[in-house]
């Protein structure tokens, strides 16, 4: 009797231990699943186990990303992005839906000319239509004509969508999935089955959602990609569902998440944690509505934090450059606050923070920015302390005594200028010039004597702007005039007429962005305005700032700083 109780008590303790662990890992290949409880490997972390699996990245920037409001990729744009993605080791690049538009058909023809080193080009389409022969389905035939080694097929797995959107029966939908996958496999294609609305479908009718997966798997699908198409799932929901279905699947499992609940990255990471080995997403999180899972965040999370085998260290260092390059091609500004690759991702503003990172960057940085090709920035603002100034001075090659009168004077001047409306976070080039001028180690390359702006109205709808300027260079006066699209453009042209002949380096400067902000609208037309100009040459970009109650004067101040900064370099 006592022995029986002891056995029961021991068994109960084992069950409790298993419940406390509560984590299972599934190592999947095409032929088997290995289920391991964490308690079975007490001397190894789950990170090491994850590292046994190769994670494959599937990029859909060219299709899902192209559905972003404001984006319209040309075929040349798509080819450029394809080359960039291949360079960082993306495994699959989804080129588009060849049955939806002529542009995608042209892309699949042109992409064959690229000498890709790694990526497989993928064409996308839906399952066959209901109640017709697959050989008669134009979408499927156009998909085959794209002549890609991989095809991605999306099929409905939410019974609500089957009956309400497709207006067909649940059995017919299963048949559509089966026939489409089987047919494409018979044509020698690697098939990715995108289980559309899978998580919503599973919540509503788990038996049917899993049946859709099993039908695709039995038909030969290489990857079963679980889609959170509406972007409404949270990570813990995804964890629960994947753990429930994973033991019953043999094919590789993937994840495709949308960001409508700001959870696409966490959902993708959780899917990998639970055994997925195929991750879909887009560069910069581009996509319809709120976007798709952002590969610029997912890649470093899986590589650096989850220690998976996904991309090389060299590829990871290209990530920031890729993010900015794709944003430029998309003609959209890159989000400065984007994790890992954003301009502000490793920017430090508060004096206490800067003081700490000077001692050890780990105090306020979760990774080394250089690992993802980014860099640390210390911004200057009215919240700055001496630590910020000393960091900047060192960056500029200046040795300052933190206790000197010059440093204290510079801090006070900085705070006064910011009180007047200056902002040096986006005008760091202006700040560098300010430091050097204050310390008396900078001599201006030219001196303004006067300028005039003339606006000539031609018709009710058109006008001409003419700028006349007089400047002094090395004691000699020069005058010039120029016509521009506006006062800033005209001033820039007039300055360049003189300065490019004296300082040829100015020819390389391009004005990339021009922003005007009214600082106190209550003052009406007498309000101060802040102008920020972003300029670039062949090597770098820089920002300059000007403030005045006169928008033309504010623009001139920012413009002159831009030219002088280039000459200083």
**Cα gap 141→360, rounded to integer Å:** 59
- Whether the pLDDT of residue 44 is over 50: the answer is no
State the Rg of the chain over Cα. 30
- CATH number of 446-502, picked from 3.30.450, 3.30.160, 3.80.10, 3.10.590: 3.30.160
In this prediction, residue 479 carries a pLDDT of 93
In this prediction, residue 27 carries a pLDDT of 46
- Whether the pLDDT of residue 25 is over 60: the answer is no
In this prediction, residue 396 carries a pLDDT of 66
Residues of the chain with CATH 3.20.20.70: 55-309
Highest CATH level, class, for 55-309: alpha beta
Judging by DSSP bridges, how do beta strands 447-457 and 463-473 pair with one another? Answer: antiparallel
**pTM beyond 0.85:** no
Looking at per-residue pLDDT, the higher value among 505 and 32 belongs to 505
CA angle, 263 then 264 then 270, to 5°: 85
Specify the 3-state DSSP secondary structure of 310: coil
pLDDT band at 356 (very low <50, low <70, confident <90, very high): confident
In this prediction, residue 525 carries a pLDDT of 57
Q: What is the pLDDT of residues 146-178, one digit of tens each?
A: 999 999 999 999 999 999 999 999 999 999 999
Q: Cβ contacts of residue 21 below 8 Å, gap of 6+?
A: 37, 38, 39
Residues of the chain with CATH 4.10.430.20: 312-378
Q: What is the pLDDT of residues 112-130, one digit of tens each?
A: 999 999 999 999 999 999 9
- Whether the pLDDT of residue 24 is over 50: the answer is no
Query: Are residues 111 and 121 in contact, defined by beta-carbon separation less than 8 angstroms?
Result: yes
Rounded to the nearest 10 degrees, the angle between the axes of helix 235-245 and helix 206-218 is 60
Rounded to the nearest 10 degrees, the angle between the axes of helix 386-395 and helix 405-420 is 100
Range in 101-105, 330-334, 530-534 with the lowest mean pLDDT:
330-334
Give burial (CB, 10 Å; 0-12/13-18/19+) of 448. middle
The alpha carbon torsion through 530, 533, 534, 536 (nearest 10 deg) reads -160
Domain 312-378 has CATH 3.20.20.70: no
**Cα gap 193→33, rounded to integer Å:** 19
**Cα gap 481→466, rounded to integer Å:** 7
Task: From 224, 227, 139, 226, select the one nearest 183 (Cα to Cα).
Answer: 139
Task: From 91, 174, 86, 161, select the one nearest 128 (Cα to Cα).
Answer: 174
Query: Are residues 382 and 410 in contact, defined by beta-carbon separation less than 8 angstroms?
Result: no
Mean pLDDT of 250-278: 97
**Cα gap 36→33, rounded to integer Å:** 10
Mean pLDDT of 370-380: 83
Tell me the CB-side half-sphere exposure of residue 308, using CA atoms within 13 A.
Answer: 24
Spacing of C-alpha 97 from chain mean position = 23
Tell me the CB-side half-sphere exposure of residue 367, using CA atoms within 13 A.
Answer: 19
Query: Are residues 221 and 1 in contact, defined by beta-carbon separation less than 8 angstroms?
Result: no
Looking at per-residue pLDDT, the higher value among 177 and 100 belongs to 177
Range in 113-122, 307-316, 405-414 with the lowest mean pLDDT:
405-414
In this prediction, residue 425 carries a pLDDT of 67
Residues of the chain with CATH 3.30.160.340: 397-436+509-569
- Reported as type and span, the H/E element at residue 452 is strand 447-457
Mean pLDDT of 91-113: 94
In this prediction, residue 26 carries a pLDDT of 44
* The 3-state secondary structure of 55-115, one letter per residue: CEEEECCCCCHHHCCCCCCCHHHHHHHHHHHHHCCCCEEEEECCCCCHHHHHHHHHHHHCC
CA angle, 84 then 315 then 90, to 5°: 55
Query: Are residues 306 and 361 in contact, defined by beta-carbon separation less than 8 angstroms?
Result: no
- Reported as type and span, the H/E element at residue 548 is strand 541-548
**Cα gap 108→482, rounded to integer Å:** 47
**Fold of the domain built from segment(s) 397-436+509-569:** Double Stranded RNA Binding Domain (3.30.160)
**Cα gap 64→58, rounded to integer Å:** 12
**Cα gap 390→400, rounded to integer Å:** 7
Looking at per-residue pLDDT, the higher value among 42 and 365 belongs to 365
**Cα gap 335→549, rounded to integer Å:** 30
- Whether the pLDDT of residue 47 is over 60: the answer is no
Q: What is the pLDDT of residues 52-99, one digit of tens each?
A: 679 999 999 999 999 999 999 999 999 999 999 999 999 999 999 997
Average pLDDT, the chain: 86
pLDDT band at 438 (very low <50, low <70, confident <90, very high): confident
- Whether the pLDDT of residue 28 is over 50: the answer is no
Q: What is the pLDDT of residues 511-555, one digit of tens each?
A: 888 888 887 656 665 678 889 899 998 888 888 999 988 888 999
**Cα gap 216→151, rounded to integer Å:** 14
In this prediction, residue 48 carries a pLDDT of 54
In this prediction, residue 51 carries a pLDDT of 60
């Amino acid at each position: 009797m006592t022995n029986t109780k002891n056995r029961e008590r021991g068994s109960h303790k084992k069950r409790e231990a298993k419940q406390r662990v509560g984590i299972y890992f599934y190592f999947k290949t095409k032929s088997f699943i290995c289920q391991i409880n964490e308690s079975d490997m007490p001397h190894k972390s789950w990170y090491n186990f994850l590292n046994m699996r190769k994670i494959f990245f599937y990029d859909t920037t060219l299709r899902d990303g192209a559905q972003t409001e404001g984006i319209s990729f040309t075929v040349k744009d798509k080819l450029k992005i394809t080359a960039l993605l291949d360079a960082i080791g993306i495994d699959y690049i989804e080129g588009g839906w060849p049955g939806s538009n002529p542009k995608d058909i042209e892309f699949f023809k042109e992409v064959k000319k690229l000498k890709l080193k790694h990526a497989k080009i993928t064409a996308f389409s839906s399952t066959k239509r209901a109640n017709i022969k697959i050989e008669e389905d134009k979408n499927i035939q156009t998909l085959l004509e794209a002549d890609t080694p991989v095809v991605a097929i999306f099929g409905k797995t939410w019974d609500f969508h089957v009956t309400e959107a497709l207006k067909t029966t649940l059995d017919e939908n299963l048949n559509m999935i089966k026939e489409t996958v089987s047919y494409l496999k018979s044509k020698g294609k690697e098939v990715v089955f995108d289980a559309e609305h899978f998580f919503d479908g599973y919540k509503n009718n788990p038996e049917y959602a899993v049946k859709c997966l099993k039908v695709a798997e039995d038909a030969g699908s290489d990857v079963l990609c679980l889609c959170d198409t509406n972007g409404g799932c949270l990570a813990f929901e995804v964890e629960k569902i994947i753990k429930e279905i994973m033991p019953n699947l043999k094919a590789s499992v993937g994840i495709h998440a949308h960001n409508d609940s700001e959870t696409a990255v966490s959902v993708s990471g959780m899917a990998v944690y639970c055994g997925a080995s195929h991750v879909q997403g887009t560069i910069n999180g581009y996509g319809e509505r709120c976007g798709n899972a952002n590969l610029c965040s997912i890649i470093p999370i899986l590589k650096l934090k989850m220690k998976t085998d996904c991309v090389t260290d060299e590829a990871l260092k290209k990530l920031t450059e890729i993010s900015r390059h794709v944003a430029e091609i998309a003609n959209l500004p890159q989000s400065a606050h984007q994790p890992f690759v954003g301009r502000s991702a490793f920017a430090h503003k508060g004096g206490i923070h800067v003081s700490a990172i000077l001692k050890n960057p780990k105090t306020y940085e979760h990774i080394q920015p250089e690992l993802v090709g980014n860099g640390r920035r210390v911004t200057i603002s009215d919240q700055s302390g001496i630590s910020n100034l000393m960091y900047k001075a060192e960056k500029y090659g200046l040795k300052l005594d933190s206790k000197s009168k010059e440093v204290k004077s510079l801090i006070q001047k900085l705070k006064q200028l910011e009180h007047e409306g200056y902002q040096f976070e986006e005008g760091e080039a202006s700040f560098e010039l300010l430091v050097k001028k204050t310390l008396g180690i900078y001599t201006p390359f030219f001196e303004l004597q006067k300028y005039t702006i003339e606006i000539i109205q031609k018709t009710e709808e058109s006008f001409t702007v003419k700028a006349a300027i007089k400047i002094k260079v090395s004691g000699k006066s020069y005058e010039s005039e120029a016509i521009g699209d506006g006062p800033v453009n005209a001033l820039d042209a007039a300055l360049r007429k003189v300065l490019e002949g004296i300082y040829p380096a100015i020819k390389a400067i391009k004005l990339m962005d021009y922003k005007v902000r009214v600082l106190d609208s209550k003052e009406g037309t007498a309000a101060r305005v802040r102008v920020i100009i972003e300029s670039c040459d062949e090597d770098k970009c820089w920002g300059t700032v000007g403030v005045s109650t006169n928008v033309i004067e504010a623009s001139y101040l920012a413009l002159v700083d831009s030219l002088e900064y280039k000459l200083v370099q």
